[in-house]
Structure 1
């Protein structure tokens, strides 16, 4: 075994080399980017060579790193095939699913729990990420967009209705919920959904430029939390704040709601997947109450 490199470091190397991203490797391994970087340095120290060079904010394989990756990746593919065969022979199908973090915690996880109880023969393993990337090794994923992806099987899951929300205390301070009062509040923009506020404003007849107190946050989850704490107004996907609207911890900050129509959350999977039957069951379960989109 002394001839083998540290196996955790080798796994990190293979994922970074395959995806081109330390961040994606960290998400796949459920560790921090710093932990992945330390594993890469450990592997380079083991061999005494540089396997990557940094270019801008990314990493690129060196020539020797490229050669090493080409040699080891076939072995990882073999391990994946062997594992898939073992899973299939055990009589329990395994579905690896990736989702945006906020959508997973607020909508998907409760439904997956119910699905698992109804289908104990299917093991769903969920990974969350802050943004969409290719399916990779996943069997299915949640993707936000217009559904025009001919390479995938797609099913719309929810109506994507946007409405400003805030805490009851802030609403009382605002008084009448109109555009002029809205312009005096902190407005939370979400980095992953940069166009939502401008699209809502256009549909509501509100000048986006009048909303000058803009604060950019990393995720919708942070925007909702800041709104609940009374620090400003979030533009919510109403399906994701149903509990808060029902309990009253959030209230509409404006009476206009904007349905983005085809642009919503979809379950996507590879049309050529060998797991079509369990995927079909999952698709029917999650899309049972999905919107009718023409």
Structure 2
């Protein structure tokens, strides 16, 4: 059995007038004329056979019937608004949560976000800095962007983006800048070298790549984070070692130089997800990252 209801527009006009105590204010809120609101209310009163408002000073006040209808209409419109907002949220894909080391986030990802937005306008990211490494289960993350070396966790699906290359960098403010910029790699055997606790093998591997004894390097000041390491190098406090992509902006500006170039470590830039995660946004993001790094393949 059908249960006919009054026109929705008429109920909306009535609810606004009852809530605001004014036909004129209801018309302003609904962006219609005063006459349109009055006609909607009159339609309801004629269908009901009873008045819904009475005059009160310069305004209007609902009658007993109007109070009952105002309460029911107000609850109904609130329920509809809440449901509609929830449906709109559910219809939008959640942001892709991407974890990456803080130094990589600050020095490489963030400066490229504008380009990413142009290339993949539908991709919404939530970026999460990870300073203590990644749990194999990637809790709370959809994907992880990292510079890593094998073996990576077997639970991961790996999108290889390109090889990692590292090299020593120093600032024109370094006290031995003039001599070191023209010196062979062996000159670094005599220098205390800045390093990070997170990459203890960076210097030994670079030394080995240049036919120098890997254990002959002299540790200087150590830092927890690459960002601090590079700020110390820029201040002229020593020679640091870093991935090429993370110092390229400093090299381009002349803030740092890399007299001895960069060498492959055997590590890779990689976008990692749990196996079985077939989210197409991840493959699209991997393709864009690979292009930014100048890599190819998967």
Same structural fold, with TM-score higher than 0.5 when normalized by the shorter chain: yes
- The Cα shift of 1:256 comes to 5.0
Aligned partner of 1:244 in structure 2 is: 250
Q: What is the rounded CA distance, in whole Å, between the counterparts of 1:235 and 1:102 in structure 2?
A: 13
Compute the displacement of 1:110 (Å).
2.9
Q: Rg larger in 1 or in 2?
A: 2
Give the 5 Å matches for 1:1-294.
89-134=90-135, 135-143=138-146, 144-146=148-150, 148-170=152-174, 171-174=177-180, 176-253=182-259, 255-261=260-266, 263-273=267-277, 276-290=279-293, 291-292=295-296
**How far does residue 208 in structure 1 lie from its aligned partner after superposition?**
4.0
SS at match of 1:167: coil
3-state SS of paired residue (1:168): coil
Q: Which runs of 4+ in 1 moved over 4 A?
A: 85-88, 147-150
Q: Deviations over 1:85-114 (max 9, x none)?
A: 978723234211110011111112233333
Contact 1:158 / 1:239 at 8 angstroms: preserved in 2?
A: no
Once superposed, what is the RMSD of the aligned Cα atoms? 2.6
Note the residue ranges of structure 1 that are not aligned, 5 or more in a row. 1-84
Whether the 8 Å CA contact 1:96–1:125 is kept in 2: the answer is yes
Unpaired runs of 5+ residues, structure 2, are 1-85
Q: What SS does structure 2 have at the residue aligned with 1:287?
A: helix
CA contact (8 A) 2:101 2:130 kept: yes
State the distance in 2 between where 1:271 and 1:94 align: 20
Kindly state the Cα deviation for residue 193 of structure 1 after the two structures are TM-superposed.
0.6
Whole-angstrom CA distance in 2 between matches of 1:98 and 1:107: 13
Q: Separation in 2 of the partners of 1:87 and 1:104?
A: 31
2:73 is matched with which residue? none
Distance verdict in 2 for CA 1:167–1:124, change over 3 Å: same
Matched residue of 1:272: which SS?
coil
2:67 aligned residue = none
CA displacement at 1:269 relative to structure 2: 1.1
Aligned residues: 207
Task: State how far apart, in whole Å, the 2-side matches of 1:266 and 1:232 are.
Answer: 30
